[in-house]
Chains A and B, each alone.
Chain A
Amino acid sequence: MSDTVPISQADFNRQAEALRREFSDLRGMAGVGIEFRMPGFEPRVLLPVPPESTSAQFPVDEKQGSELILHHAPGSGDFSTVLELAVRGVLGRLEVERREEVLLEELGSNWESLDAIYEISADVLRYADVETSLERLIARFISLQDGLHAAIFLTRNGRLKPLAGHASEILDWQDLGRMEKAIREARAVSVNHLPPEMTGPGPVPWPNAVRVAAAPVTARLKVIGFLAVWRDDERFQFDAPFLRLLEAITHQASMLLESDRLKRSMRENERWAQELEIASSIQQSLLFGHPPSGLDRFDICCFSAASQRVDGDFHDFLKHSNVCVDVLVADVMGKGIAAALIGAATKNQFLRAIASLALRSKGTAPSPAAIVDRAARRVVDQLIQLDRFVTLCYARFDVGRGLLEFVDCGHTGILLYRKRTDDTIFLRGEDLPIGVIPEFTCSQVSHRILPGDTYLLFSDGVTEARSPDGDFFGEERLTECVRNWSSLGAAILVDQIRRAAAIFGDNPPQADDFTCIAITIRLDHLDEPVVVREAEFLCQLEELEHMRAWMAAAALEVPNGGLGDVGLGQLELACTELFVNCIAHGSTGICGGPIHMTARVHREHLTVELRHDGIPFDPLSVPPPAFDGSRDSGFGTYIVFHCADELSYRREGGTNVISISIMRKGHAQE
Chain B
Amino acid sequence: MPLTIETLKTDQGGDISLVVVPGKALDASNSKDFKTSLASSLTPGAKIILDLGNLDFVDSSGLGAMVSSLRQVCGVGGDLKLCALKKPVRALIELVRMHKVFEIFNTREEALAAFGGAPASANPA
- What residues of chain A have their CB less than 8 Å away from a CB belonging to chain B? 541-542, 544-545, 548, 565-566, 569, 572-573, 576-577, 580, 583, 625, 627-629, 631-633, 635-636, 638-639, 642
For A565, list chain B residues within 8 Å (CB): 87-88
User: A628-B101, A632-B64, A633-B60 are known contacts. Are A544 and B88 too (CB-CB below 8 A)?
Assistant: no
In the complex, what's the smallest C-beta–C-beta distance from B82 to chain A, in angstroms?
A: 13
Main DSSP-derived SS at the B contact region: helix
The reply to whether A636 and B60 form a contact with Cβ atoms under 8 Å apart is yes
A576 nearest CB neighbor, chain B only: B59
B71 CB–A CB distance under 8 Å: yes
CA distance A66 to B22 in the complex (A): 109
The reply to whether B70 and A544 form a contact with Cβ atoms under 8 Å apart is no
B92 CB–A CB distance under 8 Å: yes
- Beyond A631-B67, A632-B65, 5 additional pairs, beta carbon < 8 A: A544-B25, A545-B25, A573-B92, A627-B100, A635-B64
Interface members, chain B 1-46 (any A CB < 8 Å): 25, 27-29
B74 nearest CB neighbor, chain A only: A629
B125 CB–A CB distance under 8 Å: no
A572 nearest CB neighbor, chain B only: B57
The reply to whether B96 and A635 form a contact with Cβ atoms under 8 Å apart is yes
B63 CB–A CB distance under 8 Å: yes
User: A577-B60, A639-B60, A639-B95 are known contacts. Are A632 and B71 too (CB-CB below 8 A)?
Assistant: yes
For B120, list chain A residues within 8 Å (CB): none
9 cross-chain CB contacts under 8 A: A541-B29, A545-B25, A548-B25, A573-B59, A580-B28, A628-B101, A629-B67, A636-B59, A639-B92
The reply to whether B60 and A629 form a contact with Cβ atoms under 8 Å apart is no
For B59, list chain A residues within 8 Å (CB): 573, 576-577, 580, 636, 639
For A580, list chain B residues within 8 Å (CB): 27-28, 59, 61
In the complex, what's the smallest C-beta–C-beta distance from A217 to chain B, in angstroms?
A: 67
What are the 3 tightest A-B residue pairs by CB atom distance, in nearest-first order?
A629-B101, A632-B64, A635-B60
The reply to whether B68 and A632 form a contact with Cβ atoms under 8 Å apart is yes
User: A544-B28, A627-B96, A628-B101 are known contacts. Are A635 and B63 too (CB-CB below 8 A)?
Assistant: yes
Main DSSP-derived SS at the A contact region: helix
B76 CB–A CB distance under 8 Å: no
For B27, list chain A residues within 8 Å (CB): 544, 576, 580
CA distance A159 to B67 in the complex (A): 81
In the complex, what's the smallest C-beta–C-beta distance from A69 to chain B, in angstroms?
A: 91
The reply to whether A569 and B91 form a contact with Cβ atoms under 8 Å apart is yes
The reply to whether A629 and B71 form a contact with Cβ atoms under 8 Å apart is yes
In the complex, what's the smallest C-beta–C-beta distance from A419 to chain B, in angstroms?
A: 13
A575 nearest CB neighbor, chain B only: B59
A566 nearest CB neighbor, chain B only: B91
The reply to whether A632 and B29 form a contact with Cβ atoms under 8 Å apart is no
A640 nearest CB neighbor, chain B only: B60
The reply to whether B29 and A544 form a contact with Cβ atoms under 8 Å apart is yes
For A569, list chain B residues within 8 Å (CB): 87-88, 91
For B29, list chain A residues within 8 Å (CB): 541-542, 544-545
For B71, list chain A residues within 8 Å (CB): 629, 632
CA distance A635 to B29 in the complex (A): 16
For B96, list chain A residues within 8 Å (CB): 625, 627, 635, 638-639
CA distance A497 to B40 in the complex (A): 45
For B68, list chain A residues within 8 Å (CB): 632
For A639, list chain B residues within 8 Å (CB): 59-60, 92, 95-96
CA distance A459 to B63 in the complex (A): 39
CA distance A633 to B96 in the complex (A): 11
B88 nearest CB neighbor, chain A only: A569
For B95, list chain A residues within 8 Å (CB): 639, 642
CA distance A636 to B96 in the complex (A): 10
In the complex, what's the smallest C-beta–C-beta distance from A486 to chain B, in angstroms?
A: 15
CA distance A576 to B61 in the complex (A): 10
For B88, list chain A residues within 8 Å (CB): 565, 569, 573
CA distance A46 to B71 in the complex (A): 96
CA distance A542 to B29 in the complex (A): 6
B23 nearest CB neighbor, chain A only: A545
CA distance A569 to B65 in the complex (A): 20
Interface members, chain B 47-86 (any A CB < 8 Å): 57, 59-61, 63-65, 67-68, 70-71
B29 nearest CB neighbor, chain A only: A541
The reply to whether B70 and A629 form a contact with Cβ atoms under 8 Å apart is yes
For A566, list chain B residues within 8 Å (CB): 91
CA distance A573 to B25 in the complex (A): 11
CA distance A258 to B35 in the complex (A): 73
CA distance A627 to B97 in the complex (A): 6
CA distance A542 to B68 in the complex (A): 22
CA distance A26 to B28 in the complex (A): 106
A574 nearest CB neighbor, chain B only: B59
CA distance A636 to B31 in the complex (A): 14
In the complex, what's the smallest C-beta–C-beta distance from B19 to chain A, in angstroms?
A: 18
A633 nearest CB neighbor, chain B only: B64
In the complex, what's the smallest C-beta–C-beta distance from B1 to chain A, in angstroms?
A: 13
CA distance A580 to B29 in the complex (A): 9
A627 nearest CB neighbor, chain B only: B97
